[in-house]
A and B are shown apart, each in its own frame.
Chain A
Amino acid sequence: MLLGFPLLSLVIWLPIFIGILVFATGGDRNARLAKWLALAGSVLSLLVAIPLYAQFDSIMSGMQFIEYHAWIERFNVHYHLGVDGISMPLILLNCFITPLVVIAGWQVINNRVSQYMGAFLVMSGIVNGVFSSLDAILFYVFWEASLIPMFLIIGVWGGPNRVYAAIKFFLYTLMGSLLMLVAFIYLYNVSGGSFSILDYHKLPLPLAPQILIFIAFLLAFAVKVPMWPVHTWLPDAHVEAPTGGSIVLAAILLKLGGYGFLRFSLPIVPDASQYLSGMMIGLSLIAVVYIGLVALVQADMKKLIAYSSVSHMGFVTLGFFLFNAYGIEGAMVQMISHGFISGAMFLCVGVMYDRLHSRQISDYGGVANKMPIFSVFFMLFAMANAGLPGTSGFVGEFMVIMAAIKVNFWYAFFAATTLIFGAAYTLWMYKRVVFGAVASSKVEGLVDVTGREILILTILAAAVLWMGVYPLPLTEVMHATVDDLLAHLSRSKL
C-alpha cells in the first residue's frame, strides 16, 4: 500500500491540471491536439483512481486515504481529504464517465474544442474534490466551483434556449448552496471554531437548530438531486445542454445532491432527519409517481429522460430516509446505476440527434430498419431504465422497495408503481422511435453507429449488465460505512 502517497490529491488535481493544459492549446486550429490530450488526461485520471478501489479496506468504516494540511488558519480551515465506502464508488463513477464524455464529443463539437474538453476535465477534478472533502469550506469551494464549468458548457454549446437554461441552472443551485453556507457558518460558531465535517458528526445540537440546519441542507441538496418541487431546472438544462453536458449532469452532478444527504444531513442532524423523514418520504414518492406520469406525456426525448431521472432519483432519497441498511445501500446502488443508465440514454439520444438534429419523438419512427446495431444497444438501456431484472436498474430499485416494505406497505406500493410507469414511458418512447415503418426521408438517410460510438455504448452496456448480475463488488465496499452510518443515526444528538 502506498502509505502517505497523496492519491486523492492526484485524483483531484491531475484532471484539473490537464484541463488547463487543454485550454492552453488555444483555438480550433489545434483541435486534434486538444482532443487527444483530453482523452489521455481523462484515461490517466481513471487509471490513477483505480488504486482507490484496489487498496480500499472494506472492513474499515472510517475515512481512508486521509490527507490533512493546514490551509486557512484564520478560520481553522484544513485541506482535509478522505474517502469512505460512500464516496469512493462515486469518485470511480466520475472518473469512469469523463473519458466517455470526451469520446462522445469527439466529432460533434467543432467549435471551441479546447474550451469544451478542458471544461469537462476541470469539472471532473472538481467533482472528485467534492466527494473527497472532509472540511466544510473545502467542500463548499469545490461544490460551487463545479457550477462554473457546467454553466459555460450549457451556455456555450447548448441548444437554442441555452442562455435561459444556463442561468436557471446556476441561480437555482446557488440559491440552495448559499443557505448551506449559512448553516456551515452556524455550525462553525456552535462547534467553537471548526469546519471539520467529522467534528460536526459528533456535535450535539438541540432539535430546533437541527431542523433549521436540515432545511438549509435540504434546499442545497434537493435542488441538486433534484427533488420535487425544485426539479424544474433539470429538464431545461438537459434539453439545452450538449450531449456530453447531459451525460455529466445526469450521471455525476445529480449524485452530488444524494451524496450531500449521506455526508451532511443524516449524520449531522440525525434527529431532524428522523423527525422530518415523513416529509422526505412523501416528497420522494411524489417524485417517483408524479414525475413518472409527467415523463409519460413528453414529446421531447431528452425531456422524457430528464423527467425519468428525477423519478429515479426519487428512489435515492426514498432509500435514504427509510433508515435501514437495505434502503441506504439500495439508494447508493441506484445512484451508481442511474449514472450508467441515464448517461447511456442521453448518449443514445445524442447519437440520433447528431444525425437528424431533432429530439422530437414524432420525427422518428422505424429507426431499427436503418440503425440495427444502435437499436440493440438502445433497447438494452431502455430496459435497464425500466428496471428489468438482470440490469443494474433493477438492483437498486428492488433493494429500496424491499427496504420500504419493512417500514410501511404503502411506501413500497407507491414506489413499486415505478416499475409500471417506468416501463410505460421508456418502452413506449422506444416503440415510437425505433419500431414501425420508416417515418420520413430523413430517417431513411440514417447511418448506423460508428466504431467510436459502439465503443462507448459497449462500455456502458457492460457496466449496466455487470452491475445487474453481480453487484457484490459495489455493495461490499459500502457495507461497513453504511452500518456505521446507521449506528450513528440511531444515537440521538439532542
Chain B
Amino acid sequence: MNFLLPNLAPAYPEIFLLIMVCVALLAELAVGDKLHYISYLLAQIALFGCALITFTTSTPDVVYTFSGMFVDDTLADVLKLVVYITVSIFLVYSHKYVAMRGMFSGEFFSLVLFATLGMMVMISASNLLTLYLGLELLSLSLYAMVALRRDSVAATEAAMKFFILGALASGFLLYGMSLIYGATGALDVARITEVIQSGVANPKVLVVGLVFIIAGISFKLSVVPFHMWVPDVYQGAPTAVVLFIGSAPKLAAFGFIMRLLVEGMGGMVADWQGMLIILAVLSMVVGNLAAIAQTNIKRMLAYSTISHMGFMLLGIISADSNGYSSSMFYIVVYVIMTLGTFGMIMLLSREEFEVEKLDDFKGLNRRSPWYAFITLLFMFSLAGVPPTVGFYAKLSVLQAVMGVGYVWLAVVAVLFSLVGAFYYLRIVKLMYFDEPESDVPISPHGDVELLISANGMAVLVLGIFPQTLMALCVYAINQPI
C-alpha cells in the first residue's frame, strides 16, 4: 500500500496548538496545584505561537490539504488571527476573576485552548465532517466551561440548558448535513457546490436539508427563534465564561456560515436569503424589545447579542462579497465591543461580589471617571453612535443590504437600533446621572487596567480611522469567493 503523507503545512497552527494543549495538561500534572500561572502562561505562549505561524505562513493563495477536507485561505488566516487575539485578551481579562472564584485551574485553560482549536478547525474546514468535528470540539469544551463551577446552582442549571439545547441543535445540523449528502452524494464543500450548480440534485431534499442546517447554525449564532438558551446561559454562567461564549465562537460561526452556506450552497442563495431575512428581522425585533425589560446586565447583554447577530445577518443576506466583508467587519467589531463590556463587568466585580444588576453601574463616574468614560464608549459603540466603531459596522451592513435593493430591511434595522439605543443609554444614565450605591474603590490589576483602556481607545480610534480594519475584511473575503 502506498501511503502519502498529506501536506501538513496549512494545518501547522492547529497541530502546534494541539501539542501545546497536551504540554499544558502535562505541565499541570507535573507542577501540581500551586503554580497555575504556568498554565496561563503556556496558554498565552500557545496563542502567540499560533499567531506567529499563521502570520508568517499566510499567503493570498488557497491551499487544500487532507484530500480537500481542510483549506487555508485568506479568510481562514484573518479569522484565525482575530480568534487568537480575542482569546488572548479574554485570558488577560479573566485570569484574576477566575482565580478569585476557584476556577483557576489547568482544566480551565485546557478547555479554552481546546475550544480555540475547535474554532480553528471550523474556520478552515472544507468538508461537512471537518466542519462538524470543529463545531463539536468547540461546543463540548464550552459546555464543560459553563459547568466548571460545579458548586454553583445557577451555573449547573445554565450548563444543563446549554448542553441539551446545544445537542439538539447539533442533531439538527447533522440531520441537515445528511440530507445534503443524500441529495448531492458529496461531503466536500467544493463538490457540493458543483453538484448543486449542475442541477442534478433533488431540490426538495436540498431545501429540507438547508432548513435544518440553518436551524443548527442559528442556534450557534443565537438568533431568534433559536435564542432561548442565550439569556439563561449568560445569566447563569460565570462572567468569564460568558465573555468567552459571546466573543470568539461568533467568529467561528461566521466562518462556518461562509464555508457552508456561501461557498457550499451558494447555488441556493434565493432559498437561504429568504430564511435569513426572517431570522434577521425577528432577531432585531425580539432582541431589542426584550433587552429593554431586563434588570440583569448579563441578560440585557444577551438580548443585545441577539439583536447584533440579526444585524450581522444583513450583510450575509446581501449575498455578495461587499456584504460578506461587511458582515465580517460587523462580527469583528462586535467581538471588540463584547470583550470590552464583559471585561468591564469583571473589572467591577470583586471577590464575593458579582456585578449582576444594572444598578451596579450606578454612579460609576463618581467612583472612576476614566472607567465610566470607557464604558460610555462601549455603550455608544453598541448603540452604533459615531464617532465609535459600532457606527461603521452598522453603516457597512446597511450599505450592503441597500445595495441589493432591500431598502425596507434597512429601515426596519435602523428603527430597531433606535429601540436598542434606549437600553444602552440607560447604562450611561446610571453611570453619569445617578449617585453611587457603593464606594468600594476599583483596583484592577495593572495588565487588565492597561488592556481595557486600550480596548476602549480601540473603539474610539477605529471609529475615527476604520479604514484598515475594513480593508482587512475586504482582503479576507475577496480571495475565496
A binds B: yes
- Check if B433 sits within 8 Å of A156, measured CB to CB: yes
Q: In the complex, what residues of A have CB within 8 A of residue B474's CB?
A: 74
Q: In the complex, what residues of A have CB within 8 A of residue B365's CB?
A: 112, 115, 156
Encoded as 1 (CB less than 8 Å from any A CB) or 0, chain B from 407 to 429 comes to 10011001101100110011011
Provided the pairs A74-B470, A75-B395, A167-B422 are in contact, do residues A182 and B432 lie with their beta carbons within 8 angstroms? Answer: no
Q: CB of B110 within 8 A of chain A?
A: no
Q: CB of A5 within 8 A of chain B?
A: no
Residue among B403, B421, B433, B470 making CB contact with A170, cutoff 8 Å: B421
Q: CB of B396 within 8 A of chain A?
A: yes
- Check if B433 sits within 8 Å of A185, measured CB to CB: no
Least CB distance from B391 to A in Å reads: 7
Q: CB of B471 within 8 A of chain A?
A: yes
Least CB distance from B282 to A in Å reads: 20
Q: CB of B436 within 8 A of chain A?
A: no
Least CB distance from A231 to B in Å reads: 19
Encoded as 1 (CB less than 8 Å from any B CB) or 0, chain A from 173 to 200 comes to 0110011011001101100000000000
Interface of B is mostly: helix
Residue among A72, A73, A152 making CB contact with B432, cutoff 8 Å: A152
Residue among A26, A115, A147, A182 making CB contact with B398, cutoff 8 Å: A182
Provided the pairs A75-B399, A182-B402 are in contact, do residues A144 and B466 lie with their beta carbons within 8 angstroms? Answer: no
- Check if B386 sits within 8 Å of A185, measured CB to CB: no
Q: In the complex, what residues of A have CB within 8 A of residue B418's CB?
A: 171, 174-175, 178
- Check if A186 sits within 8 Å of B385, measured CB to CB: no
Q: In the complex, what residues of B have CB within 8 A of residue A178's CB?
A: 414-415, 417-418
Residue among B396, B414, B432, B471 making CB contact with A155, cutoff 8 Å: B432
- Check if A115 sits within 8 Å of B369, measured CB to CB: yes
Interface residues of A in 54-71 (CB under 8 A from B): 71
Encoded as 1 (CB less than 8 Å from any B CB) or 0, chain A from 63 to 92 comes to 000000001111100000000000000000
Least CB distance from B84 to A in Å reads: 24
Q: In the complex, what residues of A have CB within 8 A of residue B467's CB?
A: 71-74
Q: CB of B380 within 8 A of chain A?
A: yes
Q: CB of A140 within 8 A of chain B?
A: yes
Interface residues of B in 373-410 (CB under 8 A from A): 376, 380, 385-387, 391-392, 395-396, 398-399, 402-403, 407, 410
- Check if A171 sits within 8 Å of B422, measured CB to CB: yes
Chain B interface bracket (under 10, 10 to 19, 20 to 34, 35 or more)? 35 or more
Q: In the complex, what residues of A have CB within 8 A of residue B410's CB?
A: 182, 185
CA distance A117 to B307 in the complex (A): 36
CA distance A145 to B422 in the complex (A): 16
Closest to B404 in A: A189
- Check if A185 sits within 8 Å of B432, measured CB to CB: no
Q: In the complex, what residues of B have CB within 8 A of residue A447's CB?
A: none
Q: CB of A137 within 8 A of chain B?
A: yes
Q: CB of A141 within 8 A of chain B?
A: yes
- Check if B391 sits within 8 Å of A185, measured CB to CB: no
Q: CB of A412 within 8 A of chain B?
A: no
Interface residues of B in 130-176 (CB under 8 A from A): none
- Check if B391 sits within 8 Å of A182, measured CB to CB: no
Encoded as 1 (CB less than 8 Å from any B CB) or 0, chain A from 113 to 155 comes to 0010000000000000000000001001100110110011001
**Which of B407, B410, B429 is packed against the most chain A CB atoms within 10 Å?**
B429
Q: CB of A379 within 8 A of chain B?
A: no
Q: In the complex, what residues of B have CB within 8 A of residue A148's CB?
A: 376, 380, 385
Q: CB of A239 within 8 A of chain B?
A: no
**Which of A74, A112, A182 is packed against the most chain B CB atoms within 10 Å?**
A74
- Check if A174 sits within 8 Å of B385, measured CB to CB: yes
Q: In the complex, what residues of B have CB within 8 A of residue A179's CB?
A: 411, 414
Closest to A114 in B: B369
Closest to B429 in A: A163
Encoded as 1 (CB less than 8 Å from any A CB) or 0, chain B from 450 to 473 comes to 000000000000000011001100
Closest to B322 in A: A74
- Check if A189 sits within 8 Å of B433, measured CB to CB: no
Closest to A180 in B: B414
Q: In the complex, what residues of B have CB within 8 A of residue A167's CB?
A: 422, 425-426, 429
Q: CB of A338 within 8 A of chain B?
A: no
- Check if B385 sits within 8 Å of A147, measured CB to CB: yes
CA distance A166 to B422 in the complex (A): 11
- Check if B429 sits within 8 Å of A155, measured CB to CB: yes
- Check if A189 sits within 8 Å of B414, measured CB to CB: no
Q: In the complex, what residues of A have CB within 8 A of residue B403's CB?
A: 189
Q: CB of A224 within 8 A of chain B?
A: no
Q: In the complex, what residues of A have CB within 8 A of residue B385's CB?
A: 144-145, 147-148, 174
Q: In the complex, what residues of A have CB within 8 A of residue B376's CB?
A: 148
Residue among B399, B421, B470 making CB contact with A185, cutoff 8 Å: B399
Least CB distance from B424 to A in Å reads: 10
Q: In the complex, what residues of B have CB within 8 A of residue A189's CB?
A: 399, 402-403
- Check if A182 sits within 8 Å of B470, measured CB to CB: no
- Check if A72 sits within 8 Å of B398, measured CB to CB: no
Closest to B419 in A: A171
CA distance A103 to B385 in the complex (A): 30
Q: In the complex, what residues of B have CB within 8 A of residue A26's CB?
A: 369
Q: In the complex, what residues of A have CB within 8 A of residue B395's CB?
A: 75, 137, 181, 185
- Check if B432 sits within 8 Å of A156, measured CB to CB: yes
CA distance A152 to B417 in the complex (A): 20
CA distance A104 to B403 in the complex (A): 49
CA distance A156 to B363 in the complex (A): 11
- Check if A188 sits within 8 Å of B399, measured CB to CB: yes
Closest to A27 in B: B369
CA distance A155 to B470 in the complex (A): 35
Least CB distance from A305 to B in Å reads: 24
- Check if B402 sits within 8 Å of A185, measured CB to CB: yes
Least CB distance from A204 to B in Å reads: 19
Q: In the complex, what residues of A have CB within 8 A of residue B398's CB?
A: 181-182, 185
Residue among A74, A152, A170, A182 making CB contact with B471, cutoff 8 Å: A74
CA distance A126 to B198 in the complex (A): 56
CA distance A450 to B258 in the complex (A): 69
Closest to B405 in A: A189
Least CB distance from B174 to A in Å reads: 38
Residue among A71, A75, A155, A182 making CB contact with B433, cutoff 8 Å: A155
CA distance A112 to B373 in the complex (A): 14
**Interface CB pairs A-B, < 8 A, 14:** A72-B392, A72-B466, A73-B467, A74-B471, A74-B474, A75-B395, A75-B470, A141-B387, A155-B432, A170-B425, A171-B418, A171-B425, A174-B385, A185-B410
Q: Which residues of A contact B (CB under 8 A)?
A: 26, 71-75, 112, 115, 137, 140-141, 144-145, 147-148, 151-152, 155-156, 162-163, 166-167, 170-171, 174-175, 178-179, 181-182, 185-186, 188-189
Additional pairs, 4, CB under 8 Å, beyond known A115-B369, A179-B414, A185-B399? A75-B399, A141-B387, A152-B432, A155-B429
Q: Which A-B residue pairs are the 10 nearest by beta carbons?
A: A141-B386, A178-B414, A74-B470, A155-B433, A144-B386, A72-B467, A185-B399, A185-B402, A145-B387, A141-B387
